Chain A
Amino acid sequence: MSARGLDAGITGWNRVSTKLVGVRLIGAVIGALVGVLVGAAVLALTGGFWIGWAVIGVTAVVTAVDLVLTRRSVLAIGWVLRDDDLVVRRGLLLSRLVAVPYGRMQLIDVNRGPVARLLGLAELRLVTAAASSDVTLPGLPEQVAVELRDALVARAEERRVGL
């Protein structure tokens, strides 16, 4: 919370599960492995061509930054149900706050990635008629995701409006 990002004076943020840190870390490690393998393959096939080292170096830097920021960026995610809209907050370096009115929601998806499913997490995705408002809320425990979806659908039904 605090002064780290924007919050527009909104209080009562719900945080997402910290298990999402695990999902992200596994993703980062897989990415790192792929990068190192590609680099090593280049080195082996070309006999020490510098691009191989470059790939490995870039992978190392990206992974390191990822590992440092993952926890904080997961903690930066928040959502809150207000009277008329759902507000979702995301982002550490580039922070973003989106308010989606219930009546504007056209579609609500619940997605589960393979790693997230192992840890019992799901991602909620909202679509309105505007492509730019595409909102995703990752790292919800499956039960919470389903309940939140049902709550949103119910409220959307109540307040449906024209375009």
Chain B
Amino acid sequence: MTLPAPPAAGRYVDGQWHRLHPATPVLRGGIWLLAVVLWLGANLRERIIGWVFNVREVGSDPLDELGRYHLFGFAALGVLVVVLIAVGLFWLSWRASTFRIDQEAVTVRNGLLLRTTRTAKLDRIQGVTISRPLLARVLGAARVDLEAAGQNANVRLEYLTSAAAEDLRRDVLQLASGSRRRQPDDEGEGGPTTPELAILAEDGPRIVRVTPARAVGAVLLSNTTVLLVLVVAAVIVLNVVLDSGAPIAPAAPIAAVSVFPFIVASVTVSARRIGRNLRYSVVATPDGVRIASGLVSTRTEAVPPGRVHALRIEQPLLWRAAGWWRVSVNRAGHEAGRQNQQVEQSLAPVATLAEVLTLVPHLVPDLADQEALLTAGLEGRGDGEDFTAAPRRARWLRPVAWRRTGFRVAGGSLLSRGGFLRRELVVVPQARMQSVSLGQGLVERALDVASVHPHVVHGPVRTRLRLIDRRRAEQLFEELALAGAAARAADVSHRWAERGGAR
């Protein structure tokens, strides 16, 4: 590289084409090709040798036979040719995959016969995920997904060396954030040896850390577990009742057998959830929060503030005694293929109230120093902290939850509180709203209430506000339509670091 490095550039941000990790073809699927070839060779070696060398009776050990006919040389040559072809193909496919990053965009070229080129504008990138499947980790490689808004719009760089992936993530996030200055890199080449160490040691405080006890407890105190316990109890009761009196009781074992798959499934699901919760941590960095999770395949995911389109903090009933909360967000780029993976979508699967209060301002900067407001939203009811509560007449629509239902507009965000048994607080930054609607059904009309729905990008968080007094709802609709326009005009948080005080 004789080019002068641009001021903001890291190792890869130079507008040049770069190659991927040399082991890429193997990791991408070449390993399976090799395995198949080896398996065929092992199983059919007599046939192959007999066919290639035109030898009829291949005895018990084909190598002995080769020796007998003095064909070792030819055999070795044949193997060599096959290996060379395989390596050659791998090499070609490695040569064909290149990527380039400049100040504006990331471009990836792929494919040997069918060449594809994909370009993503840096200021549209929503997050960077580094994942390390087991095999890749053994070879010191990592996959980088640059997530852009839209269906299937990820740009995937597979594979890079682990250290390069970390550099790349930092550089891309800094470019995407509008920051044109390079942070002093104090690691150098002699930095932490494993990426895990680097993640844990680097950049700023860890604001959420899931302890093993909490990781397990959160899953044990879930609906799945309760259902499991109930089902097992029912089966036991059934067994006891039917065993005691009745002469013939075939129903009991049948019941036991029929719920067995359910038990296996719920145990598996729970184990997987625990696995995801373990080693879960959220780090607050200047570029946004970074999430690291997983034991086997570690994902490191960055969520810049200002990319959060909606945020939900919820507490299932069973977690209330423990004081745990789950934080989920809607963000663009996460629409495709992730809808069924709730755990992936929860930004913090289980956090304490203190951690939530620290985390939220990193996701919605407008809510900094609003702990009283947030706490009221999470735990309060009625009109406290200037929340507008649902009118009493609306209780017919929500007999229990109406007392908690309420909203407030504060600091450029709309807060919506709800749920009595399962408490939740939804936050929608007004600058992220796409549009807003006001609706009223027949029952709502009879009660003179209406609902207001700020529309945001697809995700786990539902943002409709119900049970609002009709006049107040019309007012809110108007407020949101106007404030949305104003907030968007003033908003620079999709290039948040340009505001100066990067958080």
On A, residues with C-beta under 8 Å from B are 5-10, 83-85, 87, 93-101, 103-104, 128-133, 135, 161-163
Contact = CB atoms under 8 A, between A and B. Distances in A.
30 contacts: A6-B438, A6-B470, A6-B473, A8-B474, A8-B475, A8-B478, A10-B478, A84-B482, A85-B435, A85-B481, A85-B485, A94-B442, A96-B437, A96-B439, A97-B438, A98-B438, A100-B434, A101-B435, A101-B484, A101-B485, A101-B488, A103-B485, A104-B435, A128-B435, A129-B457, A130-B434, A130-B457, A133-B455, A162-B491, A163-B307
Contact of B439 (A9, A97, A99, A128): A97
Interface string B475-487: 1011011101100
B149 A93 contact: no
B432 interface: yes
A85 B483 CA distance: 12
B290 interface: no
Given A100-B435, A133-B435, A163 B332 contact: yes
Nearest to A98: B437
A132 B452 CA distance: 12
A99 B456 CA distance: 13
Given A130-B456, A163-B494, A99 B435 contact: yes
Given A6-B474, A84-B481, A84-B485, A133 B434 contact: yes
Contact of A99 (B309, B458, B481, B491): B481
A132 B149 CA distance: 16
Interface of B: 123-124, 149, 307, 309, 332, 432, 434-442, 450, 453, 455-458, 470, 473-475, 477-478, 480-482, 484-485, 488-489, 491, 494-495
B123, B149, B457, B495 interface centre (most CB from chain A within 10 Å): B457
Contact of A133 (B437, B439, B475): B437
A95 B488 contact: no
Contacts of B439: 6, 94-97
B237 to A, nearest CB: 43
A130 B470 contact: no
Contacts of A101: 434-435, 481, 484-485, 488
B274 to A, nearest CB: 33
A83 B475 CA distance: 17
A103 B123 CA distance: 17
B494 A96 contact: no
Contacts of B458: 130-131
Nearest to A100: B435
Contacts of B457: 129-130, 163
B435 A8 contact: no
A163 to B, nearest CB: 5
Contacts of A83: 485
Contacts of A87: 481
A-B pairs, 7 with minimum CB distance: A133-B455, A130-B434, A130-B455, A162-B494, A84-B485, A133-B435, A8-B474
A9, A97, A128, A135 interface centre (most CB from chain B within 10 Å): A97
Nearest to A127: B434
Contacts of B149: 129, 163
A98 B434 contact: no
B92 to A, nearest CB: 39
A80 B316 CA distance: 43
Contacts of B436: 98-99
A119 B500 CA distance: 57
Given A101-B484, A131-B458, 19 more contacts: A5-B440, A7-B474, A8-B438, A8-B478, A9-B478, A83-B485, A85-B481, A85-B485, A94-B441, A95-B440, A96-B440, A97-B438, A99-B437, A99-B481, A101-B485, A103-B485, A129-B434, A161-B489, A162-B123
A99 to B, nearest CB: 4
A98 B454 CA distance: 10
Given A6-B450, A99-B477, A161 B440 contact: no
A114 to B, nearest CB: 30
Contacts of B309: 163
A98 B435 contact: yes
A93 B478 CA distance: 22
A5 B485 CA distance: 25
Contacts of A132: 453, 455-456
Nearest to B330: A130
Contacts of A95: 439-440
Contacts of B123: 162
Contacts of A93: 441-442
A104 B484 CA distance: 11
Contacts of A130: 434-435, 455-458
A135 B485 CA distance: 19
Nearest to B481: A99
A61 B442 CA distance: 20
Contacts of A128: 434-435, 455
B488 A135 contact: no
Contacts of A100: 434-435
Contacts of B473: 6
A73 to B, nearest CB: 14
A158 to B, nearest CB: 12
Nearest to B123: A162
Nearest to A5: B440
A93 to B, nearest CB: 6
